[in-house]
Amino acid sequence: MSVGSETKAARVTHKEEAQRILDRLPVVVFEYTLQPNGNRDFSYINPKCEEVLGYTQAELLSGVHPMVSFIHPEDRASFELFLNEVMTLKTPFRWEGRILGKNRTVWVEAVAVPRHDDEGNCIWNGVITDISHRKSLERARLEIEQRLELGLRSADLGLWDYDFRTNTTIVNERWAQLMGYERTELEQMFCHCEDFIHPDDRPTYEKKIQEHLQGQTDAYEVVYRFQLKDKSWRWILEKGQAVERDAHGNALRTVGILQDFHARKLEEESINESEERYRTLIEFLPIGIGVHCEGKLVFVNSAACRIMGAEAPEQLLGRNVLDFVAPEFQKSVVNRIGRMMKGERVPRLEEKFVRLDGQLIDVEVYGYPYEYKGKPAVQIIVRDITGQKMAEEAVLKNEVLFTQLFESSPLAVVMLDNKGKVVKVNKGFEALFGFSQPELRGKGLNDFIVPDNLEQEGNELNQLISGKQTIRLQTKRLRKDGAELSVILLGVPVSLADETIGIFGVYVDITEQKKLEDELKIRNTELDNFVYKVSHDLRAPLSSILGLVNLARLPGNQDNPVEYLNLVGDRVKKLDGFINDVLSHSKNLKMDIKLAPVDLKAIIDKHFQDLSYMPQAARVSYNVNVEGDVFFSDPWRISEVFRNLISNAIKYLDPYKAQPHVDIQVKITQQSARIQFRDNGVGIEEKDQARVFEMFYRASDRSAGSGLGLYIVKNAVEKLGGEIKIKSIFGEGTTFTISLPNYPQP
């Protein structure tokens, strides 16, 4: 064998070894070239592309499909910006996104580093990794497809049988089709087939044939270029053998096969051209590749050096591979190596490596059985995932913090998806609205807590929030039991990659606050009325008194001064009564409840006696009936209630009735006291009954009171935790029904 042949054989060996390494990689290895004229496309891609992308090498290298056509539509705009920036700056890159295969959408990670050649091209060497962890299944499927394809190609053989005695040949139909001839044409050509063999290959062909026909070889095998019918040349492998000879050893009949050798021949010719490119590709891959044999590292690429903190491969070669494995992982690594040395395939492993500087890093390791210089070895592919692990830990930490914040928040919080369906609710939400998470999950929230009259508002809110608007709104919502709540609603959209992926709803219960606000509005209105009425009702008697004084002082006035004094006394009594009512109201609002036994009969009798000075009081008869247990309440407020009710009964008696009368029935239990106060006075018109408890409201023009009496009664009853109702027939009389709690005995 010549030196040239040895060199070629060595290069073939190197090429095969490089090809074996690349073919075993669990990633798509590619070479992407940007030419000075701006043209750019894949200049190499390994067979893994068909497994990951669904496209063959030929399809991807043809240039028919631009790279962006493989990108998922939602990632396409960002990818184009990214790619243009990389092409402009000629920098290393790392990209994650979705790509459209022929049959599925795949998430991938593409990593590459640039280099420049002498022709001004910028070449990115890199890998595309299927990060959906489905490599092993797809790789097995690819191997099956390759074996099937190889079997089909092997079936396309040319078969021939030549008889020297008759100078006739038989050729199979399939081979004629492959060569573009009619079968009869090939059979006629066979006896002078040398005429269709390339002139450069003809001497070798004739020599091989003659050596075999002369009996120097048992069979022959020769590769040559054959001229097809369209005048093009195609490499053919021919194997033949003489199957019949005469007594002198002359061949009588030969048979053989013809095989399309064109692709393989071109591949062999391209070995020399591509060998350096494969070496460069492996060297510039952004993933670490190493081979260890008998426990020692025998090969590492540049990426492996960078991962391990080495400046040159010599710092790593020859060292025990376990020197770089963290102690807690060494036992499992030894086990994996033993399995791979037996030819087993093992799954990927996440472990920790120790760099030359002592730093621990997280790595993802793939291992494959390998043969190195005739010895069993292991090929490893290493990815530094330290940054990825840190990011995963940060994400996990954020998720824990979010979950704890979400669950422990005292506010009612709900998480919706981008369709407005419930994903999750916290305990505060369940407590406020009464709905559990299983009841709501996957359903529209508006169907549960939005009142019917606010359905449109709920739908519009979802649309606004989905459109990336943050909403703050004071509105009404429903509990599970049908109770209406006043809430402040905060709606916050959650966006990812400029797309709304969900909605957070936060509800603040302001039901009690709204009640207080409404009560405050009522009190403010009453206060305004109170100030006005007090100033008016205080000034009116004083103005009358001042008028009488001025009248008495007039020169020549001969009126009896006693008459003026009597009138002044009436005005003072009226003023005193009004002031007493105002003080009673103020005391009722400010004074705490003081519990004691209440003698209702004694209180009622006392007030009828105290009010006997009132005009026509002597005409009013009354009846009191108290039944039941001891009554515990606030004696002062109970007294105020009866003082005002009895006073009104006297003021508004019916002068046309012969016997004005008041009937008071009281029934006391351990829980409550029910009081019915009935008179046969003038009564109250139906239109006025709803307002008689308002401050300063007078239902009758003949009223001489302050307008505070029934207002004080109602406030005192409510202060004690009870309620009062009125029923009146104009011209017949009025009935007040009062329910009061019987407080526990002190």
Dump the DSSP string for 647-669: HHHHHT--TTSSS-EEEEEEEE-
Question: What's the distance, CA 490 to chain centroid?
Answer: 18
- Among the ranges 347-361, 468-482, 518-532, which has the highest mean pLDDT value? 347-361
Is pLDDT of 271 > 70?
Answer: no
- What band does 3 get if pLDDT is binned at 50, 70 and 90? very low
Taking residues 431-437, report their average pLDDT: 91
From residue 676, alpha-carbon distances to 222, 313, 638 in Å are 127, 106, 14
557 or 732: which leads in pLDDT: 732
User: By mean pLDDT, which of 188-197, 724-733, 736-745 is the weakest?
Assistant: 188-197
Is pLDDT of 1 > 50?
Answer: no
Instruction: Give pLDDT tens digits for 61-81.
Output: 887 777 788 888 988 898 888
Cβ atoms of 637 and 587 within 8 Å: the answer is no
CATH 3.30.450.20 assigned to 409-509? yes
Q: What rounded mean pLDDT belongs to the chain?
A: 82
Taking residues 137-163, report their average pLDDT: 58
Dist. CA 8–CA 103, nearest whole Å: 42
Percent of the chain with pLDDT over 70: 81
CATH 3.40.350.10 assigned to 287-389? no
Q: Which CATH class is domain 156-267?
A: alpha beta
Kind and range of the H or E element at 226? Answer: strand 220-227
Nearest 10 degrees: CA dihedral of 649, 655, 657, 661?
A: 20
**What integer pLDDT is reported at residue 318 of this predicted model?**
93
Cβ atoms of 249 and 215 within 8 Å: the answer is yes
Dist. CA 304–CA 282, nearest whole Å: 11
Taking residues 407-421, report their average pLDDT: 85
Cβ atoms of 48 and 366 within 8 Å: the answer is no
Count the alpha carbons within 13 Å of 737 in the hemisphere toward its beta carbon.
4
Dist. CA 279–CA 65, nearest whole Å: 28
- CA 192, 198, 203, 207 torsion: positive or negative? negative
Instruction: Give pLDDT tens digits for 505-537.
Output: 899 888 888 777 777 776 666 655 555 555 555
- What band does 192 get if pLDDT is binned at 50, 70 and 90? confident
Percent of the chain with pLDDT over 90: 27
Instruction: Give pLDDT tens digits for 40-53.
Output: 888 888 888 887 77
**What integer pLDDT is reported at residue 148 of this predicted model?**
36
Q: Which residue carries 């903190």 as its tokens?
A: 309
Count the alpha carbons within 13 Å of 484 in the hemisphere toward its beta carbon.
9
User: By mean pLDDT, which of 262-276, 277-291, 347-361, 617-631 is the weakest?
Assistant: 262-276
Q: Quick count: other Cβ atoms within 10 Å of Cβ 373?
A: 8
Q: From 3.30.70.20, 3.40.640.10, 3.30.450.20, 1.20.1090.10, which CATH number describes the 21-151 domain?
A: 3.30.450.20
**What integer pLDDT is reported at residue 581 of this predicted model?**
58
Is pLDDT of 551 > 80?
Answer: no
Q: From 3.40.50.300, 3.30.565.10, 3.30.1330.10, 2.40.50.430, which CATH number describes the 591-746 domain?
A: 3.30.565.10
Is pLDDT of 342 > 70?
Answer: yes
From residue 356, alpha-carbon distances to 310, 334, 494 in Å are 7, 21, 44
Taking residues 375-395, report their average pLDDT: 88
415 or 5: which leads in pLDDT: 415
Domain coordinates in residue numbering, the chain = 21-151, 156-267, 287-389, 409-509, 591-746
Is pLDDT of 203 > 90?
Answer: yes
- Reduced to 3 states (helix: H, G, I; strand: E, B; else coil), residue 716 is helix
Is pLDDT of 588 > 60?
Answer: no
Is pLDDT of 324 > 50?
Answer: yes
Dist. CA 73–CA 58, nearest whole Å: 24
Is pLDDT of 287 > 80?
Answer: yes
Is pLDDT of 565 > 90?
Answer: no
Tell me, what amino acid is at 13?
T
**What integer pLDDT is reported at residue 145 of this predicted model?**
42
Q: What share of the chain is helix, strand, coil (3-state, %, to 5)?
A: 45, 30, 25
Which token pair is 486?
Answer: 């006043």
User: By mean pLDDT, which of 92-96, 309-313, 498-502, 680-684 is the weakest?
Assistant: 498-502
715: exposed, middle or buried (Cβ count in 10 Å: 0-12, 13-18, 19+)? buried
Count the alpha carbons within 13 Å of 96 in the hemisphere toward its beta carbon.
5
603 or 467: which leads in pLDDT: 603
- What band does 703 get if pLDDT is binned at 50, 70 and 90? low
Is pLDDT of 33 > 70?
Answer: yes
Instruction: Give pLDDT tens digits for 217-242.
Output: 999 999 999 999 888 999 988 899 99
- What band does 674 get if pLDDT is binned at 50, 70 and 90? very high
Is pLDDT of 306 > 70?
Answer: yes
Taking residues 13-32, report their average pLDDT: 77
Of the candidates 295, 346, 301, which has an alpha carbon nearest to the alpha carbon of residue 323?
A: 295
Equal CATH topology for 21-151 and 409-509: yes
Dist. CA 696–CA 691, nearest whole Å: 10
Kind and range of the H or E element at 222? Answer: strand 220-227
**What integer pLDDT is reported at residue 178 of this predicted model?**
75
- What band does 438 get if pLDDT is binned at 50, 70 and 90? very high
- Among the ranges 359-368, 417-426, 555-564, which has the highest mean pLDDT value? 359-368
Taking residues 553-580, report their average pLDDT: 65
499 or 206: which leads in pLDDT: 206
Taking residues 113-135, report their average pLDDT: 83
User: By mean pLDDT, which of 224-228, 497-501, 622-626 is the weakest?
Assistant: 497-501
**334-364 b/e (C-beta count within 10 Å ≥ 16 → b):** eebbeebeeeeebeeeebbbbeeeeeebbbb
Which token pair is 63?
Answer: 């240039």
329 or 259: which leads in pLDDT: 329
- Reduced to 3 states (helix: H, G, I; strand: E, B; else coil), residue 705 is coil
Cβ atoms of 450 and 435 within 8 Å: the answer is no
- Reduced to 3 states (helix: H, G, I; strand: E, B; else coil), residue 746 is coil
Kind and range of the H or E element at 204? Answer: helix 202-213
Dist. CA 366–CA 379, nearest whole Å: 8
- What band does 568 get if pLDDT is binned at 50, 70 and 90? low
Kind and range of the H or E element at 39? Answer: none
Cβ atoms of 495 and 463 within 8 Å: the answer is no
Is pLDDT of 496 > 60?
Answer: yes
Dist. CA 520–CA 497, nearest whole Å: 48
- What band does 152 get if pLDDT is binned at 50, 70 and 90? very low
358 or 170: which leads in pLDDT: 358
